[in-house]
């Protein structure tokens, strides 16, 4: 039972979303019961802790990897698209990291719509 359910049972709140009235807040303060998002109270006034939900088995957690950052002096790169418009991009299309911190073996990759690079590729 959470705050709203307890107040509804006392007739001091309505179901659904919204603020509590002054009377409801005063009743909560006088009751001495504590509520939070995980712990609630049952009808006997005894605190219980809800069981946390286990993550679905298909979700793989990323390993903790400490890779030292590769810092480049450039923040953006430029290229041309099919129509000859200048395109400026700041993220690698392979790893989606900033160009400054891209760890791809051959350096940051241009987006697929860039057909010609205008910036020389610096040696890494």
What is the number of other CB atoms lying within 10 angstroms of the CB of residue 50?
A: 9
What is this structure's pTM? 0.40
Return phi, psi of residue 78, to 5°. Answer: -120, 150
Instruction: Dump pLDDT digits (tens) for 31-53.
Output: 877 765 555 555 455 555 556 66
pLDDT for 124 equals: 37
pLDDT beyond 70 at 58: no
Which residue carries 């509590």 as its tokens?
20
Instruction: Dump pLDDT digits (tens) for 80-101.
Output: 988 989 989 888 888 888 888 7
Q: Which residue has the higher pLDDT, 45 or 6?
A: 6
Evaluate whether 72 touches 122 at the Cβ level (below 8 Å).
yes
């Amino acid at each position: 039972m959470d705050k709203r359910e307890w107040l509804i049972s006392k007739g001091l709140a309505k179901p659904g979303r919204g603020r509590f009235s002054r009377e409801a807040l005063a009743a909560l303060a006088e009751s001495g019961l504590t509520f939070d998002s995980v712990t609630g109270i049952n009808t006997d006034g005894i605190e219980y802790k809800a069981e946390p939900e286990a993550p679905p088995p298909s979700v793989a957690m990323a390993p903790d990897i400490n890779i030292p950052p590769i810092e480049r002096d450039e923040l953006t790169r430029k290229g041309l698209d099919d129509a000859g418009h200048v395109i400026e991009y700041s993220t690698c299309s392979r790893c989606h990291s900033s160009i400054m911190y891209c760890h791809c073996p051959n350096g940051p990759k241009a987006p697929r719509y860039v057909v010609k690079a205008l910036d020389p590729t610096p040696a890494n």
